[in-house]
Amino acid sequence: MKLVGMFDSPYVRRVAISMRLLDLPFEHANWSIGRDQARIAELNPLGQVPVLVLDDGEPLVESAVILDYLDQLAGPERALVPASGEMRRRVLGLTALAAGVADKARLQISERVFRPPGMQHEPLRMRLRAQMLATCHRLETVCAERGDAEWLVGDRITQADVTLGCALTYATETVGLPAEEAALPALRARHARISQLPAFREIYLPFDAPVIG
């Protein structure tokens, strides 16, 4: 399988880390949505990454779709999202919140990258930031309730942990979180622990805004 996209994307990164955790080998095509847009569009008309090209050449698009496919390959005992029940709901719910943090950060960056300074809409950027921070505070509550528990749900790593780690790194590097040390202490502490896991340290690229043109 070939994974298309750069590891500074939280969506590409969460797929790559998931594949590492599930022991699913892949080739990496380090394509940028800026300089490699034409090549990416041949695989995904949306022009977005990640794309996972299967061994038979079929392209899978959208990270949530790809992650579901990977869990099927791995089987229910190793899948990063439980197969059913309350645990599944909790993992999916937290994964959605964490992915939402990345989504809101990405939209803020898009406003900055794709619009010239005189056309950027500050009220929209502030609205997106407020939504992102509100979600971070919801995740802070969850992290505080989990205390010193190693994982967000249950007794092993799940997609909630993977997506949280990727989303927080992306948001921190692109638009920043509140600078006060007292802000979001449980969320920051959990992000720091997750970021030290081998797969997270090995699959990482500092954010570099795409060049469009």
pLDDT digits (tens, 9 = 90+) for 1-27: 999 999 999 999 999 999 999 999 999
Q: Is pLDDT of 182 > 80?
A: no
Pairing of strands 59-61, 51-53: antiparallel
Q: Is pLDDT of 45 > 70?
A: yes
Q: Is pLDDT of 181 > 70?
A: no
Greater confidence (186 vs 182) lies with 186
Which residue is associated with the tokens 């061994």? 55
With a CB cutoff of 8 Å and minimum separation 6, the contacts of 120 are: 111, 112
Q: Is pLDDT of 212 > 90?
A: no
- pTM for this one? 0.95
State what percent of residues in the chain have pLDDT above 70. Answer: 97
Nearest to 49 by CA among 41, 203, 57, 19: 41
Q: What is the mean pLDDT of residues 96-116?
A: 92
The domains found in the chain, sorted by start residue, are: 2-79 (3.40.30.10), 85-201 (1.20.1050.10)
Q: Would you state the pLDDT for residue 115?
A: 80
Amino acid letter for position 141: T
Q: Would you place residue 75 in the very low, low, confident or very high pLDDT band (cuts 50, 70, 90)?
A: very high
Q: Would you state the pLDDT for residue 179?
A: 63
Quote the DSSP letter at residue 117.
G
Q: Would you state the pLDDT for residue 180?
A: 61
Q: Would you place residue 209 in the very low, low, confident or very high pLDDT band (cuts 50, 70, 90)?
A: confident
Q: Would you place residue 90 in the very low, low, confident or very high pLDDT band (cuts 50, 70, 90)?
A: very high
Q: Is pLDDT of 213 > 90?
A: no
What letters, b where the CB count within 10 A reaches 16 and e where it falls short, cover 153-169?
beeebbbbbbbbbbbbb
Q: Would you state the pLDDT for residue 39?
A: 97
Greater confidence (166 vs 116) lies with 166
What letters, b where the CB count within 10 A reaches 16 and e where it falls short, cover 66-90?
bbeebbeebeeeebbbbeeeeeeeb
Q: What is the mean pLDDT of residues 73-99?
A: 98
